Structure 1
């Protein structure tokens, strides 16, 4: 991936708290992957506020690094791709059909992940799948159960030559998405990104979504419901009933510097009203 604006690698590493070696190794990949996911939250404030989601590197650096915001898959994984390529990794962008809680049998490509060619073999990386994002890269090896700092995952072959990514939860294995190894290009992601951020039935347009894995747990916010998922334990859910508390959770729990616009409070009030909660 190339662009006119170079990546400020030191600023990216400072943002995610990575202080390790600048080498294109599996250990480096694992460390960066974990630091990124635990620091830069998944969030959809721009589509919710009817603001454009830009995927050029200058915009990504300003939003996710300088402005201390988060984003969704296309932003997270595009930024990670730039960082890994700057370090000398061999990276390809891929696309996936999301099957996690999907109402359609064959949904469109709406997700981005990365394929990485290492001396140890082929791996996938994905720092942008919301409440169940990977916290470590996975070997591109079908049928092998692979532990991460959070859940255990596996890849399964499909009849069409692709893969299913699955996670093991308390109630068994659940499928997250389906992908193949067809390389994607910036123009492809521009189209997918526009669909996700503008399609009238897209959940990113109508719902407040934020997620971040922590040490030993995950945080997830859907509209005015905050859920904490301890690893291996029962989840805890809390309803939020004020704009002030929603803002505090976005800032403190998810580490976001909120956009300075009056439209944010208006949209948060709308979320609370739709959920039947107070908006004060």
Structure 2
């Protein structure tokens, strides 16, 4: 596809306009608009569909069909957008550590982006669910960094980096990485595991997340919708019927499915 047409369609999808010269301001504006416009979701996996992460498939799903996706789709799309804009960008492999203790080793099934700007390294990640970055953070350990939503920091410990988010309960690990590049073949393999392996957490639960304005976050896990305010306080709503679930997907995330759509996961065992 012609680069200008590709970028025009993408910017229309996220509601962004303005200059297209590589800059930190543009990177932050795109990141913020992307996470507020394109929901993180694993619904196609629960519908028994294959997850293709080639550019044509990602563009068709996230831009043309106005759906969402997970890290290999979200950051895959952003990677190509930034490349076409002239940014120096590299996909980096990581292990998601949310809700995981340090003595547990999760699979390396996450990808985010490293962006070089005027001699400085910045990290962008629009594909890590309810804690996706809404602005880039600099690759400088042990300093607190404000974003459009939560405060972040990067720790460097024993040769590993830990991206952390500050919640009311304290600092929480988001992911662990070593700055190793994640080439296409590794992304393909990790995507296959994530979307098909019986022990993948994307197969045993429904997950949808999207950032809102004023620091808000909306996260749907199975039958519970959580609205987190800018102070990190969550307000939760229970979902009682499949019909209500489809209504919430449409109202809160602009994701529309036909009446009667069923998502195949143990977390959605409705009362008879």
- 1:108: Cα distance to partner? 1.4
- 1:75: Cα distance to partner? 0.2
Matching residue of 2:49:
51
Matching residue of 2:129:
130
- Taking only aligned residues, the RMSD between alpha carbons, in angstroms, comes to 1.9
Aligned residues of 1:68 and 1:257 also touching (Cα < 8 A) = no
Aligned residues of 1:37 and 1:212 also touching (Cα < 8 A) = yes
- Paired with 1:62 and 1:230, the residues of 2 have a C-alpha distance of 32
- Paired with 1:118 and 1:208, the residues of 2 have a C-alpha distance of 37
Matching residue of 1:86:
84
Matching residue of 2:18:
20
- Segments of structure 2 that go 5 or more residues without pairing to the other structure are none
- Paired with 2:168 and 2:60, the residues of 1 have a C-alpha distance of 39
Aligned residues of 1:212 and 1:220 also touching (Cα < 8 A) = yes
Q: 185, 188, 192: which is aligned to 1:187?
A: 185
Aligned pairs for 1:1-280 (under 5 A) are 8-102=6-100, 105-119=104-118, 121-160=120-159, 162-216=160-214, 217-232=216-231, 234-258=233-257, 265-267=261-263, 271-273=267-269, 277-278=270-271
- Paired with 1:268 and 1:225, the residues of 2 have a C-alpha distance of 16
| Alpha-carbon spacing, 1:107–1:268, altered in 2? closer, same or farther (3 Å) | closer
Aligned residues of 2:205 and 2:265 also touching (Cα < 8 A) = no
Aligned residues of 2:47 and 2:262 also touching (Cα < 8 A) = no
- 1:102: Cα distance to partner? 2.5
Aligned residues: 269
TM-score using structure 1 length: 0.91
- Segments of structure 1 that go 5 or more residues without pairing to the other structure are none
1:72-129, Cα deviation, whole Å (9 max, x unpaired):
0010000000000000000000011111113771111011100001015110100010
Aligned residues of 1:67 and 1:257 also touching (Cα < 8 A) = no
Aligned residues of 1:40 and 1:255 also touching (Cα < 8 A) = no
TM-score using structure 2 length: 0.94
